[in-house]
Structure 1
Amino acid sequence: MFSIGEFASIGRVSIRMLRHYDEIGLLAPARVDPFTGYRFYDGSQFEVLARILALKDLGLTLDEVTRIVAGLVSDDALHALLADRRRALAVQLDLDRARLDRLDAKIRQIEGVPLMSTLSTELKPLPAVVVAQASAPIPGFGPENVSPVIGPLFDTLYANLVAARITPGNHALAMYEADAENDTGARAYAAFPVAEATASASGYTVTEIAGVELAATTVHRGSMSTIGESWEALSDWVVENGYHLSGPCRELYLVSQPEPQENWVTELQQPVVRA
């Protein structure tokens, strides 16, 4: 038998962590002295502890780890859980890589290195369009807040339209606005063009997105993780060329799923007026 201090030292965890694992039913000691309350562990529990730490290292929550260790998660469910975790981690890696690129660009700008943009900007009106749309709250603006929400939102909307035997238009549209009911959050809208006679139903609302007299537009190619850089470049162009922002931005997906993101083509649309 090992005292809790010995077990913690050998297992390379804190005593406080072991006590917490005991409290939540994740790893109970092999024996508790009825008089002193001291916890004791046996050698076989090092294997259980190692598995717990390995699962935690993968980013799983303690609740998920507890269910896995208790044998309450099937092999198929575990596979799905790990696959979901991998997808989330891949998205975060893309976002962090894009943030690192933006930091490097800012540092170069401070150092006096001119920024080279390959984006081509066009001014044009945006026609009104009838769409079926769904919305969901997001923690805020920026790819790190938008990406985990907007993709599943489009998937659900598309499935609902197909189930209703509605053929959506080819080019999906996304919009974002501050959430009036949540001071710190925002709201994402996923939309597909539909015929004017289409009726709203459970899971989506049919509405007309008003046209815009003038918008600055550019094309972003590739992953959504780097779209923030393209938006920043477009905003800089608007200011440098004597315009003001005049309405919420839009993203028109010219090429998207089922293509891999590196092949995506997205038109960024920013309503503007002359300064």
Structure 2
Amino acid sequence: MAVLLSIGDFSRMTYLSVKALRHYHDLGLLVPAEVDPGTGYRLYEPGQVGTAQAIRRFRDLGMPLDEVGAVLAAPDVTARNELIAAHLRRVERQLERTQAAVSSLRLLLERQPQPIEVECRSVPAVPVLAIRDRISMDDSEQWWAEAFDRLHAAVGEHRAGPDGCLYHEEFFAEDIGDVLAYVPVRGNPAGRGAVEAVQLPAADLAVTLHRGPFGELDQTYSALGTYVAQREIGADGPIRETYLITTGDESRHRTEVCWPVASLTH
């Protein structure tokens, strides 16, 4: 005769609350071996403990329940391990971002504000290959990487300057808005698919150089925004970022932040 465990005993054996076990049953993640038709009591087999413990560990790693379900339903060990490895890579990237944020916060607390050097420039219109989209701040890092991968594949020998992005005001104000990733080009390269050939408009800009990780760009934005506001020279238009140096070592990144200002010709 098979040994059956009450949901209370199974909860104690797996460190999963009764509420969680009921939820996992409702989702089909961990279905009891039997459900008493008269009382509705859920009964589990000892052999289900391993599955319950695996679910708890996946949840401790922040794996969404739909992904937990995909892992449990994987057709074979290889498919299951690929799903788990993909999630671990996401956890590692999140850990890297957390560590970077901690380091940045420590510097923010310890470092005294430094004056910035600002240059006002009038830049002409230039032809670019570009990808435009409406994105959220949360998705911007992945979108940025994918957009420039596609642009770099398309630009070839036509490159005429460093990569850049335009961020419209709505992107900052609403956490979602229009962004244009671009590469300046010479000649007449044709766009294809999401990559389009466009003219980057002329602009008057207050420009300063950010040294270091993208995660600390907000400090340069605040300093440059303060500079522009104090002089009452701000104008409508998108913020530009120009990526002079991007490497695997983020401390070596060099990014020009360009704030739109009133016409410099008057």
TM-score band w.r.t. shorter chain:
0.7 to 0.9
Using the TM superposition, give the Cα deviation of residue 70 of structure 1 relative to its aligned residue in structure 2, in angstroms: 2.7
Deviates more, 1:200-209 or 1:241-250: 241-250
Q: Is the 8 A contact 1:242 1:274 kept in 2?
A: no
Give the Cα separation in 2 of the matches to 1:89 and 1:156.
27
Equivalent residue, structure 2, for 1:45: 48
Shift of the 139–92 alpha-carbon distance from structure 1 to 2, 3 Å rule, reads farther
Equivalent residue, structure 2, for 1:253: 243
Residue 202 in 1 paired to residue 206 in 2?
Answer: no
Aligned ranges for residues 1-275 of structure 1 at < 5 Å? 1-72=4-75, 73-91=79-97, 93-95=99-101, 98=104, 104=109, 116-140=113-137, 146-159=140-153, 161=154, 167-178=158-169, 185-212=176-203, 214-257=204-247, 259-273=248-262
Amino acid of the residue matched to residue 58 of structure 2? L
Cα shift readout 1:40-80 (whole Å, capped 9, x = no counterpart): 12333222212111112222211111111233434344323
Q: Is the 8 A contact 1:178 1:185 kept in 2?
A: no
Total equivalences in the alignment: 257
Give the Cα separation in 2 of the matches to 1:139 and 1:239.
26
Cα shift readout 1:2-41 (whole Å, capped 9, x = no counterpart): 2112222342322222112112221111222233221112
Contiguous gaps of at least 5 residues in structure 2: none
Shift of the 92–136 alpha-carbon distance from structure 1 to 2, 3 Å rule, reads farther
Using the TM superposition, give the Cα deviation of residue 156 of structure 1 relative to its aligned residue in structure 2, in angstroms: 2.8
Amino acid of the residue matched to residue 53 of structure 1? R
Q: Is the 8 A contact 1:157 1:203 kept in 2?
A: no
Q: Is the 8 A contact 2:168 2:237 kept in 1?
A: no
Amino acid of the residue matched to residue 92 of structure 2? R
- Identity of paired residues, percent? 28
Shift of the 186–100 alpha-carbon distance from structure 1 to 2, 3 Å rule, reads farther
Cα shift readout 1:140-191 (whole Å, capped 9, x = no counterpart): 4xxx5633432222223323x06xx5643451011112569xx762122111
Q: Is the 8 A contact 2:35 2:42 kept in 1?
A: yes
Amino acid of the residue matched to residue 148 of structure 2? F
Give the Cα separation in 1 of the matches to 2:14 and 2:6.
12
| TM-score scaled by length of structure 1 | 0.81
Q: Secondary structure at the match of 1:154?
A: helix
Which structure: greater helix fraction? 2
Q: Is the 8 A contact 1:29 1:41 kept in 2?
A: yes
Give the Cα separation in 2 of the matches to 1:88 and 1:194.
35
Amino acid of the residue matched to residue 60 of structure 2? D
| TM-score scaled by length of structure 2 | 0.83
Equivalent residue, structure 2, for 1:111: none
Contiguous gaps of at least 5 residues in structure 1: 109-114
Give the Cα separation in 1 of the matches to 2:169 and 2:232.
25
